[in-house]
Structure 1
Amino acid sequence: MAASLAACGSSSSSSTTAAATEAASKVETTAAASKEESTEAASKAAAAEDLTANSADWKLAEAGKLHMATNAAFPPYESTTDNGGYEGIDVEIATAIADKLGLELAVDDMDFSSVITSVASGKSDIAMAGLTVNEERKQNLDFTDSYQNAVQSIIVKDDSEIKTADDLGNANAIGCQEGTTGYIYCSDSYGDKAIAYQDGATAVQALVQGKVDAVVIDNEPAKAYVAANQGLKILDTPFEDEDYAIGVAKGNTELLKSVNGALEQLQQDGTVKKIVDKYITE
Protein backbone atom coordinates (compact mmCIF):
# COMPACT_ATOMS: atom_id res chain seq x y z
CA MET A 1 0.00 0.00 0.00
CA ALA A 2 2.84 2.35 0.82
CA ALA A 3 4.42 1.59 -2.50
CA SER A 4 1.08 2.17 -4.22
CA LEU A 5 0.55 5.50 -2.47
CA ALA A 6 4.08 6.55 -3.34
CA ALA A 7 3.47 5.72 -6.99
CA CYS A 8 0.21 7.65 -7.07
CA GLY A 9 1.86 10.61 -5.43
CA SER A 10 4.66 10.57 -8.00
CA SER A 11 2.23 10.45 -10.93
CA SER A 12 0.18 13.32 -9.52
CA SER A 13 3.28 15.41 -8.96
CA SER A 14 4.48 14.73 -12.50
CA SER A 15 1.11 15.70 -14.01
CA THR A 16 1.01 18.90 -11.96
CA THR A 17 4.52 19.83 -13.13
CA ALA A 18 3.62 19.14 -16.77
CA ALA A 19 0.46 21.20 -16.51
CA ALA A 20 2.37 24.04 -14.91
CA THR A 21 5.01 23.88 -17.63
CA GLU A 22 2.34 23.89 -20.36
CA ALA A 23 0.57 26.84 -18.75
CA ALA A 24 3.82 28.76 -18.47
CA SER A 25 4.56 28.01 -22.12
CA LYS A 26 1.15 29.35 -23.14
CA VAL A 27 1.73 32.49 -21.10
CA GLU A 28 5.12 32.99 -22.77
CA THR A 29 3.62 32.39 -26.25
CA THR A 30 0.78 34.82 -25.56
CA ALA A 31 3.20 37.37 -24.19
CA ALA A 32 5.47 36.96 -27.22
CA ALA A 33 2.53 37.35 -29.61
CA SER A 34 1.32 40.38 -27.70
CA LYS A 35 4.81 41.87 -27.80
CA GLU A 36 5.05 41.21 -31.54
CA GLU A 37 1.67 42.88 -32.14
CA SER A 38 2.71 45.83 -30.00
CA THR A 39 5.98 46.13 -31.90
CA GLU A 40 4.15 46.00 -35.24
CA ALA A 41 1.64 48.60 -34.08
CA ALA A 42 4.45 50.82 -32.82
CA SER A 43 6.26 50.40 -36.14
CA LYS A 44 3.15 51.41 -38.10
CA ALA A 45 2.58 54.36 -35.80
CA ALA A 46 6.20 55.45 -36.23
CA ALA A 47 5.91 55.14 -40.01
CA ALA A 48 2.72 57.20 -40.03
CA GLU A 49 4.35 59.78 -37.78
CA ASP A 50 7.30 59.99 -40.17
CA LEU A 51 4.92 60.74 -43.06
CA THR A 52 3.37 63.65 -41.17
CA ALA A 53 6.50 64.84 -39.37
CA ASN A 54 6.83 67.84 -41.68
CA SER A 55 3.12 68.38 -42.30
CA ALA A 56 3.47 72.02 -41.23
CA ASP A 57 5.47 72.52 -44.43
CA TRP A 58 2.85 70.99 -46.71
CA LYS A 59 1.32 73.49 -49.08
CA LEU A 60 -2.33 72.43 -49.29
CA ALA A 61 -5.12 73.99 -51.31
CA GLU A 62 -7.41 73.51 -48.32
CA ALA A 63 -6.54 72.68 -44.70
CA GLY A 64 -7.28 69.08 -43.75
CA LYS A 65 -7.93 67.94 -47.33
CA LEU A 66 -5.89 66.43 -50.15
CA HIS A 67 -7.27 67.77 -53.43
CA MET A 68 -6.77 65.41 -56.36
CA ALA A 69 -6.96 66.92 -59.85
CA THR A 70 -8.27 64.39 -62.35
CA ASN A 71 -10.42 63.82 -65.41
CA ALA A 72 -13.10 61.35 -64.31
CA ALA A 73 -13.73 59.94 -67.78
CA PHE A 74 -10.86 57.49 -67.83
CA PRO A 75 -12.07 54.08 -66.57
CA PRO A 76 -10.86 52.05 -64.76
CA TYR A 77 -8.54 54.69 -63.28
CA GLU A 78 -11.16 57.35 -62.61
CA SER A 79 -14.84 57.62 -63.48
CA THR A 80 -18.07 58.90 -61.99
CA THR A 81 -20.62 56.71 -60.22
CA ASP A 82 -24.40 56.74 -60.59
CA ASN A 83 -24.76 58.63 -57.30
CA GLY A 84 -22.40 61.39 -58.37
CA GLY A 85 -19.30 60.07 -56.62
CA TYR A 86 -16.00 58.85 -58.02
CA GLU A 87 -14.37 55.45 -58.34
CA GLY A 88 -11.36 53.79 -59.92
CA ILE A 89 -7.76 52.80 -59.32
CA ASP A 90 -6.45 56.36 -58.93
CA VAL A 91 -9.34 57.37 -56.67
CA GLU A 92 -8.82 54.43 -54.29
CA ILE A 93 -5.04 54.83 -54.16
CA ALA A 94 -5.42 58.57 -53.52
CA THR A 95 -7.94 57.84 -50.76
CA ALA A 96 -5.51 55.43 -49.10
CA ILE A 97 -2.70 58.00 -49.34
CA ALA A 98 -4.90 60.70 -47.83
CA ASP A 99 -5.80 58.37 -44.95
CA LYS A 100 -2.13 57.76 -44.20
CA LEU A 101 -1.51 61.50 -44.15
CA GLY A 102 -4.48 62.16 -41.89
CA LEU A 103 -6.30 64.05 -44.63
CA GLU A 104 -9.66 63.77 -46.40
CA LEU A 105 -9.56 63.21 -50.16
CA ALA A 106 -11.35 65.76 -52.34
CA VAL A 107 -11.70 64.95 -56.05
CA ASP A 108 -11.41 67.93 -58.42
CA ASP A 109 -12.88 66.72 -61.73
CA MET A 110 -11.87 68.76 -64.80
CA ASP A 111 -10.74 68.55 -68.42
CA PHE A 112 -7.54 66.53 -68.69
CA SER A 113 -5.74 69.49 -70.23
CA SER A 114 -6.33 71.47 -66.99
CA VAL A 115 -5.02 68.85 -64.54
CA ILE A 116 -1.35 69.86 -64.55
CA THR A 117 -2.16 73.59 -64.47
CA SER A 118 -4.49 73.12 -61.50
CA VAL A 119 -1.74 71.47 -59.43
CA ALA A 120 1.05 73.76 -60.61
CA SER A 121 -1.02 76.81 -59.60
CA GLY A 122 -1.90 75.38 -56.17
CA LYS A 123 -5.64 74.96 -56.81
CA SER A 124 -5.20 71.20 -56.35
CA ASP A 125 -2.55 69.28 -54.40
CA ILE A 126 -1.86 66.18 -56.48
CA ALA A 127 -2.43 65.14 -60.09
CA MET A 128 -3.72 61.59 -60.62
CA ALA A 129 -5.33 61.01 -63.98
CA GLY A 130 -3.50 58.12 -65.55
CA LEU A 131 -0.64 60.59 -65.75
CA THR A 132 2.50 59.53 -67.59
CA VAL A 133 5.81 61.16 -66.69
CA ASN A 134 7.58 62.91 -69.56
CA GLU A 135 10.09 65.72 -69.90
CA GLU A 136 7.47 68.36 -70.74
CA ARG A 137 5.42 67.57 -67.63
CA LYS A 138 8.56 67.52 -65.47
CA GLN A 139 8.97 71.22 -66.26
CA ASN A 140 5.73 71.96 -64.40
CA LEU A 141 5.43 69.23 -61.77
CA ASP A 142 7.55 66.92 -59.66
CA PHE A 143 6.57 63.24 -59.61
CA THR A 144 6.46 60.35 -57.17
CA ASP A 145 7.73 56.89 -58.01
CA SER A 146 5.65 54.99 -60.55
CA TYR A 147 2.66 53.03 -59.24
CA GLN A 148 1.34 51.44 -62.45
CA ASN A 149 2.58 50.42 -65.88
CA ALA A 150 0.32 51.22 -68.83
CA VAL A 151 0.23 50.66 -72.56
CA GLN A 152 -1.00 53.03 -75.27
CA SER A 153 -3.23 50.96 -77.57
CA ILE A 154 -4.84 51.47 -80.98
CA ILE A 155 -8.59 51.07 -81.51
CA VAL A 156 -9.88 50.49 -85.04
CA LYS A 157 -13.03 49.17 -86.70
CA ASP A 158 -13.23 45.41 -87.21
CA ASP A 159 -12.83 45.77 -90.99
CA SER A 160 -10.04 48.36 -90.83
CA GLU A 161 -7.05 48.09 -93.14
CA ILE A 162 -4.88 49.23 -90.22
CA LYS A 163 -3.56 45.92 -88.88
CA THR A 164 -0.51 46.94 -86.84
CA ALA A 165 1.02 50.04 -85.28
CA ASP A 166 3.21 50.37 -88.38
CA ASP A 167 0.08 50.92 -90.49
CA LEU A 168 -1.03 53.91 -88.42
CA GLY A 169 0.77 56.25 -90.81
CA ASN A 170 -1.72 55.22 -93.52
CA ALA A 171 -4.63 56.65 -91.53
CA ASN A 172 -6.24 59.87 -92.74
CA ALA A 173 -7.07 60.93 -89.18
CA ILE A 174 -6.22 59.58 -85.72
CA GLY A 175 -8.39 60.42 -82.72
CA CYS A 176 -6.83 61.10 -79.31
CA GLN A 177 -7.78 62.70 -76.02
CA GLU A 178 -6.40 66.22 -75.79
CA GLY A 179 -3.37 66.72 -73.59
CA THR A 180 -2.56 63.02 -73.27
CA THR A 181 0.71 61.35 -74.16
CA GLY A 182 -1.18 59.50 -76.89
CA TYR A 183 -1.94 62.82 -78.55
CA ILE A 184 1.63 64.03 -78.04
CA TYR A 185 3.07 60.85 -79.60
CA CYS A 186 0.67 60.98 -82.55
CA SER A 187 1.25 64.70 -83.13
CA ASP A 188 5.01 64.16 -83.12
CA SER A 189 4.77 61.20 -85.50
CA TYR A 190 1.84 62.08 -87.76
CA GLY A 191 1.40 65.84 -87.47
CA ASP A 192 -2.04 67.18 -88.41
CA LYS A 193 -3.44 63.66 -88.73
CA ALA A 194 -3.72 63.63 -84.91
CA ILE A 195 -7.11 65.05 -83.90
CA ALA A 196 -7.62 66.08 -80.26
CA TYR A 197 -10.96 65.44 -78.55
CA GLN A 198 -12.07 66.55 -75.11
CA ASP A 199 -12.19 63.00 -73.79
CA GLY A 200 -11.67 59.42 -74.88
CA ALA A 201 -15.35 58.67 -75.30
CA THR A 202 -15.75 61.49 -77.84
CA ALA A 203 -12.70 60.27 -79.77
CA VAL A 204 -14.16 56.75 -79.91
CA GLN A 205 -17.51 58.09 -81.13
CA ALA A 206 -15.64 59.89 -83.90
CA LEU A 207 -14.20 56.51 -84.89
CA VAL A 208 -17.66 54.88 -84.86
CA GLN A 209 -18.99 57.71 -87.05
CA GLY A 210 -16.08 57.39 -89.50
CA LYS A 211 -14.57 60.78 -88.73
CA VAL A 212 -11.22 59.18 -87.79
CA ASP A 213 -9.63 55.87 -88.80
CA ALA A 214 -8.16 54.94 -85.42
CA VAL A 215 -7.99 56.04 -81.80
CA VAL A 216 -4.83 55.96 -79.67
CA ILE A 217 -5.54 55.72 -75.94
CA ASP A 218 -4.44 53.82 -72.84
CA ASN A 219 -5.18 50.10 -72.96
CA GLU A 220 -7.56 49.79 -70.00
CA PRO A 221 -9.91 52.60 -71.08
CA ALA A 222 -9.58 51.22 -74.63
CA LYS A 223 -11.01 47.88 -73.46
CA ALA A 224 -13.91 49.61 -71.75
CA TYR A 225 -14.72 51.63 -74.88
CA VAL A 226 -14.50 48.60 -77.18
CA ALA A 227 -16.78 46.62 -74.87
CA ALA A 228 -19.35 49.42 -75.05
CA ASN A 229 -19.25 49.83 -78.86
CA GLN A 230 -19.85 46.98 -81.31
CA GLY A 231 -17.68 46.70 -84.39
CA LEU A 232 -14.46 47.93 -82.75
CA LYS A 233 -11.29 46.11 -81.74
CA ILE A 234 -7.87 46.75 -80.20
CA LEU A 235 -4.82 45.95 -82.30
CA ASP A 236 -2.50 43.29 -80.92
CA THR A 237 0.54 45.53 -81.32
CA PRO A 238 0.76 48.32 -78.68
CA PHE A 239 1.62 51.87 -79.67
CA GLU A 240 3.68 52.84 -76.60
CA ASP A 241 4.63 51.50 -73.16
CA GLU A 242 4.72 53.91 -70.19
CA ASP A 243 4.40 54.37 -66.41
CA TYR A 244 1.96 56.35 -64.27
CA ALA A 245 2.99 58.51 -61.31
CA ILE A 246 1.52 61.20 -59.03
CA GLY A 247 2.29 64.84 -59.79
CA VAL A 248 2.91 67.51 -57.13
CA ALA A 249 3.65 71.20 -57.65
CA LYS A 250 7.30 72.14 -57.87
CA GLY A 251 8.55 73.51 -54.55
CA ASN A 252 5.98 71.53 -52.54
CA THR A 253 8.83 69.27 -51.46
CA GLU A 254 7.57 68.04 -48.09
CA LEU A 255 4.17 67.09 -49.48
CA LEU A 256 5.88 65.20 -52.32
CA LYS A 257 8.02 63.28 -49.81
CA SER A 258 4.99 62.39 -47.69
CA VAL A 259 2.85 61.33 -50.65
CA ASN A 260 5.71 59.25 -52.06
CA GLY A 261 6.33 57.71 -48.61
CA ALA A 262 2.65 56.78 -48.26
CA LEU A 263 2.65 55.32 -51.78
CA GLU A 264 5.71 53.23 -50.94
CA GLN A 265 4.03 51.83 -47.82
CA LEU A 266 0.90 50.99 -49.80
CA GLN A 267 2.97 49.20 -52.40
CA GLN A 268 4.92 47.24 -49.79
CA ASP A 269 1.85 46.06 -47.87
CA GLY A 270 0.07 44.99 -51.06
CA THR A 271 -2.67 47.64 -50.99
CA VAL A 272 -1.83 49.07 -54.44
CA LYS A 273 -1.79 45.61 -56.04
CA LYS A 274 -5.10 44.75 -54.37
CA ILE A 275 -6.70 47.92 -55.75
CA VAL A 276 -5.32 47.36 -59.26
CA ASP A 277 -6.43 43.71 -59.24
CA LYS A 278 -9.93 44.81 -58.25
CA TYR A 279 -10.31 46.76 -61.48
CA ILE A 280 -7.93 44.93 -63.84
CA THR A 281 -8.53 41.20 -63.55
CA GLU A 282 -6.07 39.91 -66.16
Structure 2
Amino acid sequence: MAVKTALLALALAVVTGSASAQDDRADKLDEIKERGRVEIAVYDSFPPWSYKAESGGYAGIDVEIAKALGDKLGVSTTINAFPADESMGDDIRNMVWKGHYIGRKPADAMLHVGMAPSFQAENDQATFLGAYYNETMGFVYDAERFGADVDSPLALAGNKIGVQLDTLGDFYLTSAFQGQLRDDVEHFKSVPEAMRAFNKGELAGVMAPLGELRGAVNMLESENIDIRQVQLTGLYQNDWDVGLAIKAGNPALARALGEAMTELRNSGRLEEIFTDYGVPYRAPADAADSDSTAGR
Protein backbone atom coordinates (compact mmCIF):
# COMPACT_ATOMS: atom_id res chain seq x y z
CA MET A 1 0.00 0.00 0.00
CA ALA A 2 1.10 3.55 -0.61
CA VAL A 3 1.81 6.27 1.93
CA LYS A 4 -1.67 7.59 1.10
CA THR A 5 -3.47 5.09 3.36
CA ALA A 6 -1.20 5.76 6.30
CA LEU A 7 -1.65 9.51 6.07
CA LEU A 8 -5.42 9.18 5.67
CA ALA A 9 -5.62 7.26 8.93
CA LEU A 10 -3.47 9.85 10.71
CA ALA A 11 -5.42 12.81 9.40
CA LEU A 12 -8.66 11.27 10.70
CA ALA A 13 -7.17 10.42 14.11
CA VAL A 14 -8.84 11.69 17.27
CA VAL A 15 -6.47 13.70 19.50
CA THR A 16 -5.93 11.95 22.84
CA GLY A 17 -3.02 11.38 25.22
CA SER A 18 0.41 9.97 24.34
CA ALA A 19 2.71 7.36 25.81
CA SER A 20 6.11 5.81 25.16
CA ALA A 21 7.64 2.51 26.18
CA GLN A 22 11.13 2.14 27.59
CA ASP A 23 13.51 -0.79 27.77
CA ASP A 24 16.80 -1.49 29.51
CA ARG A 25 19.18 -1.84 26.59
CA ALA A 26 22.08 0.53 25.90
CA ASP A 27 21.21 3.79 24.20
CA LYS A 28 21.59 3.55 20.42
CA LEU A 29 23.40 6.87 20.14
CA ASP A 30 26.60 5.21 21.35
CA GLU A 31 26.30 2.56 18.63
CA ILE A 32 25.73 5.20 15.95
CA LYS A 33 28.75 7.21 17.08
CA GLU A 34 30.93 4.09 17.18
CA ARG A 35 30.06 2.99 13.64
CA GLY A 36 30.14 6.58 12.34
CA ARG A 37 26.86 6.28 10.48
CA VAL A 38 23.14 6.81 11.12
CA GLU A 39 20.55 4.91 9.09
CA ILE A 40 17.33 6.82 8.45
CA ALA A 41 14.22 5.31 6.86
CA VAL A 42 12.17 7.23 4.26
CA TYR A 43 9.34 6.18 1.96
CA ASP A 44 10.60 4.98 -1.41
CA SER A 45 8.00 6.58 -3.72
CA PHE A 46 6.67 9.74 -2.12
CA PRO A 47 7.60 12.86 -4.11
CA PRO A 48 8.61 15.54 -3.25
CA TRP A 49 9.54 14.01 0.13
CA SER A 50 11.51 10.96 -1.00
CA TYR A 51 11.75 9.29 -4.39
CA LYS A 52 14.16 7.56 -6.78
CA ALA A 53 16.19 10.15 -8.65
CA GLU A 54 17.29 9.84 -12.27
CA SER A 55 20.85 9.46 -11.01
CA GLY A 56 19.84 6.20 -9.33
CA GLY A 57 19.98 7.38 -5.73
CA TYR A 58 17.21 8.92 -3.67
CA ALA A 59 16.23 12.57 -3.57
CA GLY A 60 13.60 14.67 -1.84
CA ILE A 61 12.97 16.88 1.16
CA ASP A 62 13.11 14.02 3.67
CA VAL A 63 16.32 12.69 2.12
CA GLU A 64 18.00 16.07 2.52
CA ILE A 65 16.73 16.40 6.10
CA ALA A 66 18.11 12.93 6.88
CA LYS A 67 21.55 13.93 5.57
CA ALA A 68 21.46 17.18 7.52
CA LEU A 69 20.60 15.31 10.73
CA GLY A 70 23.58 13.01 10.16
CA ASP A 71 25.82 16.04 9.75
CA LYS A 72 24.55 17.46 13.05
CA LEU A 73 25.30 14.15 14.78
CA GLY A 74 28.80 14.16 13.27
CA VAL A 75 28.28 10.95 11.29
CA SER A 76 27.43 9.94 7.72
CA THR A 77 23.86 9.09 6.70
CA THR A 78 22.56 5.92 5.06
CA ILE A 79 19.14 6.28 3.42
CA ASN A 80 16.90 3.24 3.91
CA ALA A 81 14.07 3.68 1.39
CA PHE A 82 11.16 1.31 1.93
CA PRO A 83 7.66 0.69 0.50
CA ALA A 84 4.74 1.64 2.70
CA ASP A 85 2.81 -1.16 4.37
CA GLU A 86 -0.94 -1.25 5.09
CA SER A 87 -0.73 1.49 7.73
CA MET A 88 1.79 3.86 9.27
CA GLY A 89 1.60 1.77 12.43
CA ASP A 90 2.92 -1.14 10.38
CA ASP A 91 5.69 1.10 9.03
CA ILE A 92 6.68 2.13 12.56
CA ARG A 93 6.87 -1.53 13.57
CA ASN A 94 8.83 -2.56 10.48
CA MET A 95 11.27 0.34 10.29
CA VAL A 96 11.62 1.60 13.88
CA TRP A 97 11.35 -1.01 16.62
CA LYS A 98 10.91 -4.60 15.37
CA GLY A 99 11.75 -5.15 11.73
CA HIS A 100 9.88 -6.83 8.88
CA TYR A 101 9.14 -10.57 8.84
CA ILE A 102 10.91 -10.94 5.47
CA GLY A 103 14.18 -9.94 7.15
CA ARG A 104 14.38 -6.14 6.79
CA LYS A 105 15.91 -4.71 9.98
CA PRO A 106 14.76 -1.47 11.61
CA ALA A 107 16.61 1.77 10.88
CA ASP A 108 17.92 4.10 13.58
CA ALA A 109 15.14 6.60 12.82
CA MET A 110 12.24 7.11 10.43
CA LEU A 111 11.11 10.39 8.89
CA HIS A 112 7.66 11.67 7.94
CA VAL A 113 5.73 10.05 10.77
CA GLY A 114 2.49 11.49 12.09
CA MET A 115 2.68 13.29 15.41
CA ALA A 116 -0.95 12.97 16.56
CA PRO A 117 -0.96 12.09 20.30
CA SER A 118 -3.45 9.27 19.70
CA PHE A 119 -1.14 7.70 17.12
CA GLN A 120 1.80 7.97 19.49
CA ALA A 121 -0.20 6.27 22.22
CA GLU A 122 -1.08 3.41 19.88
CA ASN A 123 2.59 2.95 18.95
CA ASP A 124 4.32 3.13 22.32
CA GLN A 125 7.25 0.99 21.21
CA ALA A 126 8.51 4.16 19.49
CA THR A 127 9.48 7.64 20.65
CA PHE A 128 8.17 10.50 18.49
CA LEU A 129 10.07 13.79 18.29
CA GLY A 130 11.42 16.55 16.08
CA ALA A 131 8.27 17.76 14.32
CA TYR A 132 9.52 19.59 11.22
CA TYR A 133 6.53 20.40 9.00
CA ASN A 134 2.83 21.12 9.26
CA GLU A 135 0.85 19.59 6.40
CA THR A 136 -2.62 20.62 5.25
CA MET A 137 -4.94 19.84 2.36
CA GLY A 138 -4.98 21.88 -0.83
CA PHE A 139 -6.13 21.84 -4.42
CA VAL A 140 -4.83 23.15 -7.72
CA TYR A 141 -7.07 24.34 -10.53
CA ASP A 142 -6.90 25.96 -13.95
CA ALA A 143 -6.92 29.67 -13.08
CA GLU A 144 -7.23 30.70 -16.72
CA ARG A 145 -10.40 28.66 -17.04
CA PHE A 146 -12.08 29.40 -13.72
CA GLY A 147 -10.58 32.74 -12.66
CA ALA A 148 -8.35 33.66 -9.76
CA ASP A 149 -10.94 33.77 -6.97
CA VAL A 150 -11.89 30.10 -6.59
CA ASP A 151 -11.76 29.24 -2.88
CA SER A 152 -13.42 25.82 -2.83
CA PRO A 153 -13.40 22.66 -4.96
CA LEU A 154 -17.18 23.07 -5.17
CA ALA A 155 -16.58 25.78 -7.79
CA LEU A 156 -15.26 23.02 -10.07
CA ALA A 157 -18.53 21.04 -9.94
CA GLY A 158 -19.34 19.38 -13.23
CA ASN A 159 -15.65 19.05 -14.14
CA LYS A 160 -13.19 16.25 -13.43
CA ILE A 161 -11.11 16.61 -10.25
CA GLY A 162 -8.16 14.27 -9.75
CA VAL A 163 -7.29 12.59 -6.45
CA GLN A 164 -4.99 9.80 -5.36
CA LEU A 165 -7.08 6.72 -4.57
CA ASP A 166 -7.93 6.07 -0.90
CA THR A 167 -6.58 9.38 0.38
CA LEU A 168 -8.07 12.11 2.49
CA GLY A 169 -8.74 14.13 -0.68
CA ASP A 170 -10.62 11.17 -2.18
CA PHE A 171 -12.63 10.65 1.01
CA TYR A 172 -13.45 14.35 1.28
CA LEU A 173 -14.53 14.98 -2.31
CA THR A 174 -16.76 11.91 -2.44
CA SER A 175 -18.54 12.73 0.81
CA ALA A 176 -18.47 16.51 1.37
CA PHE A 177 -20.93 19.06 -0.06
CA GLN A 178 -23.71 16.46 0.25
CA GLY A 179 -21.98 14.36 -2.38
CA GLN A 180 -22.24 17.00 -5.11
CA LEU A 181 -18.71 16.24 -6.37
CA ARG A 182 -18.85 12.46 -6.12
CA ASP A 183 -19.34 11.88 -9.85
CA ASP A 184 -16.62 14.41 -10.72
CA VAL A 185 -13.83 12.54 -8.91
CA GLU A 186 -11.18 10.87 -11.08
CA HIS A 187 -8.86 8.41 -9.30
CA PHE A 188 -5.11 8.07 -9.85
CA LYS A 189 -2.33 5.95 -8.39
CA SER A 190 -0.28 8.99 -7.31
CA VAL A 191 -0.38 12.77 -7.09
CA PRO A 192 2.25 13.22 -9.86
CA GLU A 193 0.13 11.00 -12.13
CA ALA A 194 -2.91 13.18 -11.44
CA MET A 195 -0.86 16.30 -12.07
CA ARG A 196 0.33 14.95 -15.42
CA ALA A 197 -3.30 14.46 -16.44
CA PHE A 198 -4.01 18.01 -15.25
CA ASN A 199 -1.14 19.33 -17.39
CA LYS A 200 -2.70 17.65 -20.43
CA GLY A 201 -5.99 19.44 -19.80
CA GLU A 202 -7.80 16.24 -18.78
CA LEU A 203 -8.71 17.58 -15.32
CA ALA A 204 -10.04 20.85 -13.97
CA GLY A 205 -8.12 20.42 -10.73
CA VAL A 206 -6.31 18.08 -8.33
CA MET A 207 -6.77 17.75 -4.56
CA ALA A 208 -4.02 16.42 -2.27
CA PRO A 209 -1.86 17.43 0.71
CA LEU A 210 -0.43 20.87 -0.02
CA GLY A 211 3.21 19.76 0.20
CA GLU A 212 2.67 17.04 -2.41
CA LEU A 213 0.88 19.48 -4.71
CA ARG A 214 3.59 22.12 -4.42
CA GLY A 215 6.27 19.53 -5.11
CA ALA A 216 4.42 18.12 -8.12
CA VAL A 217 3.86 21.58 -9.60
CA ASN A 218 7.56 22.34 -9.20
CA MET A 219 8.64 19.05 -10.77
CA LEU A 220 6.20 19.24 -13.70
CA GLU A 221 6.47 22.99 -14.34
CA SER A 222 2.70 23.42 -14.64
CA GLU A 223 1.27 26.66 -16.01
CA ASN A 224 -2.00 28.57 -15.65
CA ILE A 225 -2.76 27.17 -12.24
CA ASP A 226 -3.61 28.44 -8.81
CA ILE A 227 -3.03 26.56 -5.56
CA ARG A 228 -5.43 26.98 -2.67
CA GLN A 229 -5.61 25.60 0.84
CA VAL A 230 -8.76 23.66 1.75
CA GLN A 231 -10.58 24.02 5.05
CA LEU A 232 -12.26 20.68 5.79
CA THR A 233 -14.89 22.38 7.93
CA GLY A 234 -16.61 20.34 10.59
CA LEU A 235 -15.49 16.93 9.41
CA TYR A 236 -11.76 16.38 9.57
CA GLN A 237 -8.53 17.53 11.11
CA ASN A 238 -7.40 20.39 8.85
CA ASP A 239 -3.65 20.05 9.38
CA TRP A 240 -1.16 17.69 10.96
CA ASP A 241 2.50 17.75 11.98
CA VAL A 242 5.08 15.26 10.72
CA GLY A 243 8.30 14.42 12.50
CA LEU A 244 10.59 11.46 13.19
CA ALA A 245 10.43 8.30 15.27
CA ILE A 246 13.04 6.10 16.94
CA LYS A 247 12.79 2.97 19.04
CA ALA A 248 11.64 3.74 22.58
CA GLY A 249 14.20 3.52 25.35
CA ASN A 250 16.89 5.64 23.68
CA PRO A 251 16.68 9.00 25.50
CA ALA A 252 20.18 10.15 24.49
CA LEU A 253 19.48 9.53 20.80
CA ALA A 254 16.08 11.23 21.12
CA ARG A 255 17.68 14.23 22.77
CA ALA A 256 20.44 14.45 20.15
CA LEU A 257 18.04 14.20 17.20
CA GLY A 258 15.59 16.64 18.78
CA GLU A 259 18.36 19.18 19.30
CA ALA A 260 19.65 18.61 15.76
CA MET A 261 16.19 19.23 14.27
CA THR A 262 15.80 22.39 16.35
CA GLU A 263 19.16 23.65 15.08
CA LEU A 264 18.15 22.96 11.47
CA ARG A 265 14.95 24.90 11.96
CA ASN A 266 16.48 27.84 13.84
CA SER A 267 19.38 28.20 11.39
CA GLY A 268 17.04 28.39 8.40
CA ARG A 269 18.44 25.20 6.87
CA LEU A 270 15.04 23.45 6.97
CA GLU A 271 13.42 26.27 5.06
CA GLU A 272 16.24 26.19 2.50
CA ILE A 273 15.64 22.49 1.86
CA PHE A 274 11.93 23.08 1.30
CA THR A 275 12.65 25.99 -1.02
CA ASP A 276 14.99 23.82 -3.10
CA TYR A 277 12.04 21.52 -3.85
CA GLY A 278 9.53 24.29 -4.49
CA VAL A 279 7.55 23.68 -1.30
CA PRO A 280 6.92 26.69 0.99
CA TYR A 281 7.94 25.83 4.54
CA ARG A 282 5.13 25.51 7.10
CA ALA A 283 6.46 25.39 10.65
CA PRO A 284 5.00 22.58 12.78
CA ALA A 285 2.21 23.63 15.08
CA ASP A 286 3.70 21.71 18.01
CA ALA A 287 7.38 22.51 17.44
CA ALA A 288 7.94 23.86 20.94
CA ASP A 289 6.23 20.91 22.59
CA SER A 290 8.13 18.44 20.41
CA ASP A 291 11.49 19.96 21.32
CA SER A 292 10.72 20.10 25.03
CA THR A 293 9.72 16.43 25.21
CA ALA A 294 12.68 15.02 23.26
CA GLY A 295 14.41 12.33 25.23
CA ARG A 296 11.55 11.58 27.59
Q: How would you bin the TM-score normalised by the shorter chain?
A: 0.5 to 0.7
Name the TM-score, length of structure 2 as normaliser. Answer: 0.56
Q: 1:57 aligns with which of 27, 30, 35?
A: 27
Give, as a single letter, the amino acid of the residue that structure 1 aligns with 2:59.
Answer: E
**Does structure 2 retain, via aligned residues, the 8 Å contact 1:175–1:206?**
no
Change (3 A) 1:235 1:100: closer
How far apart are the structure 2 equivalents of 1:146 and 1:190?
31
Q: 1:233 aligns with which of 225, 229, 233?
A: 225
Is structure 2 residue 163 aligned with structure 1 residue 165? no
Pair member with larger Rg: 1
Give, as a single letter, the amino acid of the residue that structure 1 aligns with 2:64.
Answer: E
Greater share of residues in helix: 1
Change (3 A) 1:221 1:187: closer
Q: 1:93 aligns with which of 65, 68, 78?
A: 65
How far apart are the structure 2 equivalents of 1:168 and 1:251?
50
Map Cα deviations across residues 144-187 of structure 1 (whole Å, 9 max, x no partner).
Answer: 132233332113456579x4336289688762366xxxx24653
- What residue is the counterpart of 2:294 in the other structure? none
Name the TM-score, length of structure 1 as normaliser. Answer: 0.58
Extract unaligned runs of 5+ from structure 1. Answer: 1-54
- What residue is the counterpart of 2:261 in the other structure? 263
- What residue is the counterpart of 1:70 in the other structure? 42
Superposition map of 1:79-228 within 5 A: 79-113=51-85, 115-120=91-96, 121-122=98-99, 123-129=106-112, 131-135=113-117, 137-138=119-120, 139-140=122-123, 141-156=126-141, 159=145, 163-165=150-152, 167=154, 175-176=163-164, 183-184=167-168, 186-187=170-171, 190=174, 198-205=189-196, 215-226=206-217, 228=220
Q: Secondary structure of the equivalent of 1:246?
A: strand
Map Cα deviations across residues 28-56 of structure 1 (whole Å, 9 max, x no partner).
Answer: xxxxxxxxxxxxxxxxxxxxxxxxxxx94
Shift of 1:117: 4.1
How far apart are the structure 1 equivalents of 2:239 and 2:64?
23
Change (3 A) 1:210 1:168: same
How far apart are the structure 2 equivalents of 1:249 and 1:207?
41
Determine which structure has greater relative contact order: mean sequence separation of CA pairs < 8 Å that are 6+ residues apart, divided by chain length: 2
Change (3 A) 1:203 1:70: farther
Shift of 1:105: 1.4
Extract unaligned runs of 5+ from structure 2. Answer: 1-24, 100-105, 232-237, 281-296
Deviates more, 1:202-211 or 1:66-75: 202-211
**Does structure 2 retain, via aligned residues, the 8 Å contact 1:248–1:256?**
yes
Change (3 A) 1:242 1:165: farther
**Does structure 2 retain, via aligned residues, the 8 Å contact 1:145–1:260?**
yes
Give, as a single letter, the amino acid of the residue that structure 1 aligns with 2:108.
Answer: D
**Residues paired across the two proteins, number:** 224
Provide the identity percentage.
20
Shift of 1:224: 3.9
**Does structure 1 retain, via aligned residues, the 8 Å contact 2:40–2:66?**
yes
Change (3 A) 1:173 1:83: closer
